[in-house]
Amino acid sequence: MIMSANAPNLQAVRQKIMTQVAKSGRQAESVRLLAVSKTRPVADVWAAIQAGQLDFGENYAQEGVDKILALRELLRKLPPDTPPDFAPIWHFIGPLQSNKTRLVAQHFTWVHAITRLKIAERLSEQRPEHLPPLQVCVQVNVSGEASKSGCAPAETRELCHKVAALPRLRLRGLMCIPAPTADFAAQCRPFAALRRIFLDLQGEGLALDTLSMGMSDDLEAAIHEGSTLVRVGTAIFGVRKSS
Ligand SMILES: *Cc1c(COP(=O)(O)O)cnc(C)c1O
């Protein structure tokens, strides 16, 4: 067994989630933790799996696929009595270019950052028949900054209805990456805005269950505003080297 250096960090993040969930009067199981493993070696992911973590997020298609295949090899070597739910679930959370959609459709279970119909259509066409539909979220630019990617709030409704109609995708919800700020009330605002759009779409009959919002520095505000999935990198694996 590899000693997992990030196990205490994982435990601390889980504790932080539990504390905020309780403070916000929500159910303990209502928030899913996604460990963002971009730029981290396979050994870090392996250690996190051994510490009970199953959901992982990657931003770069080729790096992610290399890791997925390496982990599959490691898992194949586990003893036969290993529980079946020991297998990681891979989420593609980065911006997605047309030339990378096939790779992502073939290897990932989730895609969080759908911002245009064209990308969603390609993913639906390229999702292999033997796999279940790709689980997707539409990314919304709730802070309205030109530099941040995401669908404009005014265009979200139309995009979501079109994505939901694609045969090989299953629209699960919305995602956002607001501009960083240290102030709790300011962190809450864009998350609350995303939640309002989410509730409107549910009201229009879309069966959505996922609000992908909150990272290392704003996960408490996100949980306070109804996040069902937080994407945490730094607080689990440490500070990333800038590329
Ligand atoms: C890198 C990244 C994260 C994790 O950010 P941390 O601040 O390291 O927790 C979450 N979501 C997305 C989309 C990312 O690219």
**137 domain residue, yes or no:** yes
- Is 1 inside any structural domain? no
Give the closest residue (by CA) to ligand 1 atom 4: 233
Task: Among 92, 215, 223, say which to mutate for ligand 1: greatest number of ligand atoms within 8 Å of CB.
Answer: 215
For 74-130, the pLDDT digits (tens) are 888 888 777 666 789 999 999 999 999 999 999 999 999 999 999 999 999 999 999
The answer to whether residues 40 and 237 touch, using CB atoms and an 8 Å cutoff, is yes
**90, 64 Cβ separation under 8 angstroms:** yes
Q: How confident is the model at residue 146 (pLDDT cuts 50, 70, 90)?
A: low
Ligand 1 touching residue 216 (CB < 6 A): yes
Q: How many domains does the chain have?
A: 1
Q: Residue 3 above 60 pLDDT? A: no
Closest C-alpha residue for ligand 1 atom 11 = 231
Kindly state whether residue 13 falls inside one of the protein's structural domains. Answer: yes
Residue 65: domain span: 7-237
Taking residues 213-228, report their average pLDDT.
Answer: 98
Is 82 or 4 the better-scoring residue by pLDDT? 82
Q: Is any atom of ligand 1 closer than 6 Å to the C-beta of 232?
A: yes
CATH of the domain at 183: 3.20.20.10
Answer whether residue 199 is part of any domain. yes
Taking the mean position of all CA atoms in its chain, how far away is CA 115? Answer: 14
Q: How far apart are CA 220 and CA 20, in angstroms?
A: 6
- Residue the block writes with tokens 């739910």: 85
The residue with tokens 């919800």 is: 173
